[in-house]
Amino acid sequence: MRILTLGGGTVGTWIADLLCRYRHSVTVVDIDPVHTKRINDELDVRAITGSASQSCILFQAGVMNADLCLAVTGNDEVNLVGASMAKAMGARRSVARVYAPVFRDLSTFDYQQHFGIDRLLSLEHLSAGELARNIRNPGSVIVENFARGQLEVQEVVIQNETSVVGLPLKQLGLPKGIRVGSIYREGQIWIAGADAVIKLHDRITLIGRREDIDEVKGLFQQGPIVTQNVVIAGGGETGYHLAQTLESEHFHVMLMEESSERCEFLASSLQRVTVVHADATRRSILEEERVGSADVFVACTGDDENNIMAGVEAREIGAKKIMAIVGRPDYANVVGKLGIDIAVS
């Protein structure tokens, strides 16, 4: 594929390097000549210096023949304009990274449709979703989101002789908003019909809203649902989305944020989350807030080093499972040695 990447920062460079390894033809556009020189020197891709929102630069980068345009600069407006122009100038598909939540809020305006962009992606939202999967679904095989996060697909393994084993789907009495999508059994998979019978060791996919799926999962998985204590360090977009995702009776969530102004927003937006105005990078604060008793500690402060150090401190004082946002790919081999169980980039 011919791929045009707008933005040569950490995200753009990582994407270009990854796609290049899979033998795609990649062109990178960045306004900083230092970035383009580094990319040209280190990667087997073509890097062009210029603004991603100027038609002459996009034309020079070969946008008319691009199969995909990825706009991942650090500026939301540049990404929207660049991806929109790329699509209008001939790129088959265009994807724009956005940070501000307003660009993904359909209640006010549909930016994606207006600009003609195929998809808007929030890396912070995606990171929060990845963290939530590892917290919420230890018994599930996969979890996917559709309809911009409004629908969720979870694959559940029938590991015990629950009440649903041996019954056809039409007799389960599932809520109106829940569907069993497919059944995987002994190497074969098929679309589930009303007369399909669930057997032990089946893998089934549940489709519906997250809250509805959480209510019916007990039918397929034996044993009480254990309430988990989760501590989130950092109330930025990632921490906010993660706390919002975990906001249910199955989790006791404490969100630690250093900014008092941000704490006011979080406290007013999250009804079932305890918001604490505190610096989560200080060990004394972690001990004072009893982080050592947490089942899961998640560090997403916005700084890699602070996330790593907070995770190490939380591990030492007793937190059972440590997760952290680590943006730099070269830290991937380090965090596991420091006691961090899951790192999301």
Max Cα separation, the chain? 65
Distance CA 157, CA 221 (A): 8
pLDDT at res. 140: 47
Distance CA 23, CA 18 (A): 9
Return the CATH number of the domain spanning residue range 228-344.
3.40.50.720
Kindly report, as residue ranges, where domains of CATH 3.40.50.720 are found in the chain: 2-121, 228-344
Fold of 2-121: Rossmann fold (3.40.50)
Q: Where are the alpha helices (DSSP H) in 253-331?
A: 260-269, 283-288, 304-316
CATH architecture of 140-220: 2-Layer Sandwich (3.30)
Kindly report the pTM of this predicted structure: 0.74
End-to-end CA gap in the chain: 24
Distance CA 294, CA 321 (A): 8
173, two tokens:
């009495």
pLDDT at res. 141: 43
268, two tokens:
């007013």
38 and 102 Cβ atoms separated by less than 8 Å: no
pLDDT at res. 145: 57
Rounded to the nearest 10 degrees, the angle between the axes of helix 237-245 and helix 123-136 is 40
What is the phi-psi region of residue 162: left when phi exceeds 0, alpha when psi lies from -120 to 50, beta otherwise? beta
pLDDT in tens, the chain (345 residues): 999 999 998 889 989 998 999 999 999 999 999 999 999 999 989 999 999 999 999 999 999 999 999 999 999 999 999 999 999 999 999 999 999 888 988 888 999 999 999 999 988 888 888 888 788 755 444 455 555 556 777 777 787 777 788 888 888 888 888 888 888 888 888 898 888 888 888 888 888 887 777 777 777 766 556 788 999 999 999 999 999 888 876 789 999 999 999 999 999 999 889 999 999 989 999 999 999 999 999 999 988 899 999 999 999 999 999 999 988 777 767 787 888 888 888
pLDDT at res. 175: 81
| Pairing of β 151-157 and β 140-146 | antiparallel
Distance CA 313, CA 142 (A): 30
pLDDT at res. 139: 47
**CB within 8 A of 331, min separation 6: which ones?**
304, 308, 343
